[in-house]
Amino acid sequence: MMPSPITAILLISCPDRHGIVAALSSFITRQNGNIVALDQYVDPVDGVFFARMEWEVEGFAIPTENFAREFNALAEPFDITWSLHRSDQRLRMGLMFSRQLHCLYDILARYESGEWPVDIAVAVSNHNDHRGLVERFGIPFHHLPVTAEDKARTEPKQIAVMQQAGVDFIVLARYMQILSPAFIQAFPMRIINIHHSFLPAFAGARPYHAAHNRGVKIIGATAHYATESLDEGPIIEQDVNRVSHRQGVDDLIRIGRDLEKIVLSRAIYGHLHHRILVYKNRTVVFN
Amino acid sequence: MMPSPITAILLISCPDRHGIVAALSSFITRQNGNIVALDQYVDPVDGVFFARMEWEVEGFAIPTENFAREFNALAEPFDITWSLHRSDQRLRMGLMFSRQLHCLYDILARYESGEWPVDIAVAVSNHNDHRGLVERFGIPFHHLPVTAEDKARTEPKQIAVMQQAGVDFIVLARYMQILSPAFIQAFPMRIINIHHSFLPAFAGARPYHAAHNRGVKIIGATAHYATESLDEGPIIEQDVNRVSHRQGVDDLIRIGRDLEKIVLSRAIYGHLHHRILVYKNRTVVFN
Amino acid sequence: MMPSPITAILLISCPDRHGIVAALSSFITRQNGNIVALDQYVDPVDGVFFARMEWEVEGFAIPTENFAREFNALAEPFDITWSLHRSDQRLRMGLMFSRQLHCLYDILARYESGEWPVDIAVAVSNHNDHRGLVERFGIPFHHLPVTAEDKARTEPKQIAVMQQAGVDFIVLARYMQILSPAFIQAFPMRIINIHHSFLPAFAGARPYHAAHNRGVKIIGATAHYATESLDEGPIIEQDVNRVSHRQGVDDLIRIGRDLEKIVLSRAIYGHLHHRILVYKNRTVVFN
Amino acid sequence: MMPSPITAILLISCPDRHGIVAALSSFITRQNGNIVALDQYVDPVDGVFFARMEWEVEGFAIPTENFAREFNALAEPFDITWSLHRSDQRLRMGLMFSRQLHCLYDILARYESGEWPVDIAVAVSNHNDHRGLVERFGIPFHHLPVTAEDKARTEPKQIAVMQQAGVDFIVLARYMQILSPAFIQAFPMRIINIHHSFLPAFAGARPYHAAHNRGVKIIGATAHYATESLDEGPIIEQDVNRVSHRQGVDDLIRIGRDLEKIVLSRAIYGHLHHRILVYKNRTVVFN
């Protein structure tokens, strides 16, 4: 396989206006950018325009560091909110988890096989169980225990560890503690959580017990950006699996583990490839 | 294809006890019954035994009308709750619907093609729109309008129509009125409803609007037995479909219609073939 | 709900070139067209550009009848193959079927409920069974029997019926005769067939028997454009359903009917909304 | 959670006969066995009876080592083929793989977390890449390179390694070499392979390339027992994932990896819990 060319990725949202696509695509073309992907979506209720444009860096007339200056002449009249990314800039992931292994292992396996353009910059757990596993991958590990009493003192340490490691986003790989609003606000729309139910059904604790008790015939898992409202952040990805009366709670937990790790990995993939925009507590995911 | 032989179907639940399967299967075998299917399930938490036994009527020593007398000698010591059915006894269905066509048409198409061992004995609607359609199938149709004021007077008429038609069970094929407890109690665990969401998410009115608003990535439909608690009865069947940000509420409604009709039809199939047992607001569905 | 505004839909394919998106979107914008949807895709292996642009007709400076003249100045240098459609032009469908009811009924139910922007112009069957059903919908029905001997004489009649009815495309709703190359060539990429397997597995006759014999755990259905190679045309849509050893061939046929009708309806939906482009025996389906 | 009681599991197949269920369940009950699960299935075409019975070992009157002697008095007249297993006897797995990591890692993660009642007795690869990974889990690793020339000499070594390790079954976790009939015959219906397509579609090499080329809208993976006919052994489990024209071959490979590891793990689960019977190149899987 040939290596993919390095690309720039522009994520955009703005009020929908005549000519916005023409203005954007003409801007890139005039600067000699070869557009390799253009996805757009207009919310018909609110009249909001969303787009993801990707073009080859080679040959593009504007150096990345000058892009803002050049692009703002276009962005301001259209009232565009935007962010620019490059496919050769690997994001730095912070990893948080508790005792369960399945999401952690799945992430590490993808990491080792080079599936994702990511560097795992640091790992934090409230338990020390998996220090050895994580350190084998060369990932700095911090054991920061959390109890009901000292949570207020631990969170600033967690935040500091993440910031010092320069993480771009945080993945909660079955981290079983609720984060405070202060933690969330330190990484807005940059914390991906996996919840072990088909949200909004069975938010909160012990969702498989609740699902079994309700007698559902399908269980699910949901990856979402963490917000200050527990399990109510913008949903990135969901998937489900059929179950029957024969499956007890233990079976739901076992089957659910596979859902959780796959759904979480798809959300991470979308985030790493800059395919996700958030609007009104919903996501636009360009596939 | 050869016609299937006529069978008797016994549905059973009782406290789990040593020797229950041996006792049941020996009883049928001693009476020269050829068992063609035996499904059993033990709830491990409560220690309850459920079974569905099916044997050929031809050659079986006990005439159906004497079965209770013979079987009770076994059923009483084991504290068995049971019901006996025959594959050549077509159940009588009562049909209720409002204005939407998709579930109604789907049921009528299956009826015409002989997919189900059922007679549709009567149809009731709070609108007169589909009288012609229903009567073309030779099904008696009753237009019983419902308003907020006269609901208390209409329901006894609906119940009377159903009872006079001798229905064994009622299918709510997108009937958009809430049934009173009195109606439900007249047909306990014999009213199948289709709800247009993946319950318990989005119970109540306008679930597709709620699903769109929450930004879910998968929508669903749920068939359940109607109980006095709206949308909280035992779930018989569910299915789902993937959606994206591109689908507006109208799209969810359109996609959901296909889910609704398929899920409802599967629940009816299970009910008609005596494959469903209800326990603690959950179903055991033997497939 | 507000009625949707009337839109023009442009389907395009051409060799991928710098500036193609900018040229297209600028053309529409300069003519005062408000773009409501723009989907594009570049085949990275062959370097082919595909797009679907949709804009509001109201306010657009070029009348539909003059579009070709104006657009060719752009289309020719870019070597663009294109077609223009309008959301207020209902396509005319020709319907062909044999004895099975499920796809036919499903299509008629959607037709009656106004789900699709379509007129069913004519129906042709090699059996007379469903004449009454079809005529109730006001659809002209032609019974054209087909035997091995007279097939060569019947096909020209079928083609003539379709052409006289002015059909834009033909749906084979479980039509159980193989069409000759001459028939296919009369309606290239305008005949939608439903095959009752997950193609390319189990092409040809009796796919459910073959699936049961192979012991698959999942069955499927496939909608595709008919080509001269039986069951090998470009796939438009597929879906699947889980089965187990308990399902015999009859069960697969029964379960498969639901797959067939849903998959076929999705393919028709995509065709009617001009969302499908064909390239190298594959489809680009813009959702 | 309470530990599950130790159980005995009896797998049975025989010609269908009146009274077989009664005879089996009475036998267990007379020996004071408490049946916790009984699944049966009768193939209606060939008249073959299959069953899986599970009862608690504690209190059962016949010691495991005497079971054959006692049971044969029943098994012989009914012409029963059977095997007896115990839930406290962990099977010994032999693992074979090449360079790809995803199935291997997934199996090791489940192994470490204790999800399966299994001991991985030995690992064999034609590459040395993952020796370190495997040995970290305490699993003996053998690097046995395979070339076209020396395959005939290598296979006896592989077989010897497996036999010396006392493996009960072998898992091919993306082992990219074709096994000879001699190898297959050494472990009949005890080699589980994962094929990266929805069989029988795309058997053989490079199935994702073939799937992309055919333009399918759904891809799949298939776990099956390896037989002498490549990719034609009895299917244990399959699952699928929706794709679109936007996914290139690389995407199919990436998405497929998740299918492969999940499908393979479900097949292993069924094998380990003695839920699978093979008949006429198909499987009966009791769930």
Share of chain A above pLDDT 70, in %: 99
Per the model's pLDDT, the better-predicted residue between C90 and C149 turns out to be C90
Average predicted confidence (pLDDT) for chain A: 96
Residues of A in contact with D258 (CB under 8 A): 262, 265
Report residue C147's pLDDT band, with 50, 70 and 90 as the boundaries: confident
Q: Count CB pairs under 8 A between chains B and C.
A: 39
Q: Does the pLDDT value for residue D236 go beyond 70? A: yes
Give the pLDDT confidence of A277-286 residue by residue, as tens digits.
Answer: 999 999 999 9
Give the pLDDT confidence of A36-68 residue by residue, as tens digits.
Answer: 999 999 999 999 999 999 999 999 999 999 999
What would the mean pLDDT of D239-246 be, rounded to a whole number? 97
pLDDT of res. A79:
97
Contact predicate B8/B55, CB 8 Å: yes
pLDDT of res. A148:
80
Contact predicate D132/D107, CB 8 Å: no
Name the residue among C41, C218, C281 with its Cβ closest to that of D245.
Answer: C41
Q: How far, in Å, are A11, A93, A134, B27 from residue A96 at the CA level?
A: 27, 10, 11, 59
Give the pLDDT confidence of B152-189 residue by residue, as tens digits.
Answer: 899 999 999 999 999 999 999 999 999 999 999 999 99
pTM of the model: 0.97
Report residue B265's pLDDT band, with 50, 70 and 90 as the boundaries: very high
Give the pLDDT confidence of B216-242 residue by residue, as tens digits.
Answer: 999 999 999 999 999 999 999 999 999
User: Would you call C231 a catalytic residue per the annotation?
Assistant: yes
Q: How far is residue B235's CA from residue A244's CA, in Å, rounded to a whole number? A: 11
pLDDT of res. C148:
80
pLDDT of res. B148:
80
Residues of C in contact with B275 (CB under 8 A): none
**Chain A residues with at least one Cβ partner in C under 8 Å:** 18-19, 21-22, 25-26, 28-30, 32, 34-40, 42, 44, 242
Per the model's pLDDT, the better-predicted residue between D287 and A286 turns out to be A286
Give the pLDDT confidence of A227-268 residue by residue, as tens digits.
Answer: 999 999 999 999 999 999 999 999 999 999 999 999 999 999
pLDDT of res. D149:
84
Name the residue among A22, A28, A34 with its Cβ closest to that of C26.
Answer: A22
pLDDT of res. C15:
97
Asked if D262 and A262 come within 8 Å (Cβ–Cβ), the reply is yes
Return the ∠ at Cα A236 (arms to A232 and A239), rounded to 5°. 100
Residues of C in contact with D45 (CB under 8 A): 248
**Chain B residues with at least one Cβ partner in A under 8 Å:** 41, 44-45, 198-202, 214-218, 220, 234-240, 244-246, 248, 281-285, 287
**Domain A91-285 CATH superfamily:** Formyl transferase, N-terminal domain (3.40.50.170)
pLDDT of res. D2:
59
What would the mean pLDDT of C164-189 be, rounded to a whole number? 96
Q: Does the pLDDT value for residue D166 go beyond 60? A: yes
Give the β-pairing of B169-172 and B91-97. parallel
Contact predicate C38/C54, CB 8 Å: yes
Report residue B207's pLDDT band, with 50, 70 and 90 as the boundaries: very high
Cα separation of the two ends of chain D: 22
Q: Does the pLDDT value for residue C214 go beyond 90? A: yes
Q: Does the pLDDT value for residue B147 go beyond 90? A: no
The structural domains of chain B, with segments of one domain joined by +, span 7-86, 91-285
Report residue D190's pLDDT band, with 50, 70 and 90 as the boundaries: very high
**Domain A7-86 CATH superfamily:** ACT domain (3.30.70.260)
Q: Does the pLDDT value for residue B2 go beyond 70? A: no
Give the pLDDT confidence of B24-77 residue by residue, as tens digits.
Answer: 999 999 999 999 999 999 999 999 999 999 999 999 999 999 999 999 999 999
**Chain B residues with at least one Cβ partner in C under 8 Å:** 1, 101-102, 105-106, 108-109, 112-113, 115, 136, 244, 246, 250, 254, 258, 262, 265, 287
Closest CA to D22 of D40, D1, D46: D40
Average predicted confidence (pLDDT) for chain B: 96
Give the pLDDT confidence of C3-28 residue by residue, as tens digits.
Answer: 789 999 999 999 999 999 999 999 99
pLDDT of res. B152:
86
Give the pLDDT confidence of A101-149 residue by residue, as tens digits.
Answer: 999 999 999 999 999 999 999 999 999 999 999 999 999 999 999 988 8
Q: How far is residue B129's CA from residue A100's CA, in Å, rounded to a whole number? A: 57
Asked if D113 and A101 come within 8 Å (Cβ–Cβ), the reply is yes
Q: Does the pLDDT value for residue B1 go beyond 70? A: no
Q: Does the pLDDT value for residue B112 go beyond 80? A: yes
Asked if C35 and A21 come within 8 Å (Cβ–Cβ), the reply is yes
Residue D57 class from Cβ within 10 Å (0-12 exposed, 13-18 middle, 19+ buried)?
Answer: middle
Q: Does the pLDDT value for residue C1 go beyond 80? A: no
Q: Does the pLDDT value for residue C120 go beyond 70? A: yes
DSSP string, A18-67: TTHHHHHHHHHHHTT--EEEEEEEEETTTTEEEEEEEEESTT-SS-GGGH
Asked if A45 and B217 come within 8 Å (Cβ–Cβ), the reply is no
Closest CA to A180 of A153, A207, A141: A153
- CA-nearest residue to C17 within chain A is A34
Q: Which two tokens stand for residue C54?
A: 């949709």
DSSP state of D66: G
Q: Does the pLDDT value for residue C212 go beyond 60? A: yes
What would the mean pLDDT of A11-29 be, rounded to a whole number? 95
Contact predicate D105/D175, CB 8 Å: no
